[in-house]
Amino acid sequence: MKSSSRPNILKIIGQIPAALLIWPLYILPLWTLRQIKLVKKAAPWVLEFELSDEDTRYTKLWKNWAGSSLPFCFIRISKLRINRNNPGLHWATVAKRMRQLVAHELHHNQQQFNLGPLFFPLYLYQLVTKGYQNNPYEVEARRVAGEEE
Ligand SMILES: [Zn+2]
């Protein structure tokens, strides 16, 4: 299935339980406090947020992370932060990493639509038993995003 395919009504409904928790408790407060900003609609039913470039208690938690996919949205770091984390990267490499980052997070959104309310428990189970790198959902997202090249 293409990462940008339009979710049907069942897939949208399947995201509502997690969205009802995560949007009021996480996304909306971060957005209100300007820790994240809305970039655009990245795919049907998926909004793209960018982490603030300012160093705050929250953004410092992102030291080792480039993106995070949540119900109906994902948060990613900016090109400036990609540069800051890897000084001296060519602008074309930064642009390529950004495309891969967006494709990776959008694939997690697709996994969420496909697995519905089971996604977060299944993802956590794989994370705990196999670790981050070997988590099959991460392996698949890296492959789809072309990050192994
Ligand atoms: Zn991932």
pLDDT tens digit sequence for 121-130? 999 999 999 9
Consecutive H or E run containing 126: helix 119-134
Cα angle 22, 23, 26; round to 5: 65
**Residues 58-79, mean pLDDT to the nearest whole number:** 96
Ligand 1 centre distance from Cα of residue 34 (Å) = 24
Residue 75 CA, ligand 1 centroid: distance in Å: 11
Evaluate if residue 61 carries a pLDDT over 60.
Answer: yes
How far, in Å, is the centroid of ligand 1 from the Cα of 105?
6
Separation of 106 CA from ligand 1 center, angstroms? 9
Place of tokens 């090249």: 149
Cα(56) to centroid of ligand 1, in Å? 23
Tell me, in angstroms, the distance from the centre of ligand 1 to residue 1's CA: 17
Q: How many CB atoms lie within 10 A of CB 10?
A: 9
Taking the CA atoms of the chain, what radius of gyration do you get in angstroms? 15
**pLDDT confidence of residue 149:** 59
**When comparing pLDDT for 4 and 101, which is higher?**
101
User: Is a pLDDT exceeding 50 seen at residue 1?
Assistant: no
Give me the mean pLDDT over the 19-35 stretch. Answer: 97
Q: Is the pLDDT at 90 greater than 80, yes or no?
A: yes
What's the mean per-residue pLDDT of the chain? 94
pLDDT at 148: 77
Distance 8 CA to ligand 1 centre (A): 23
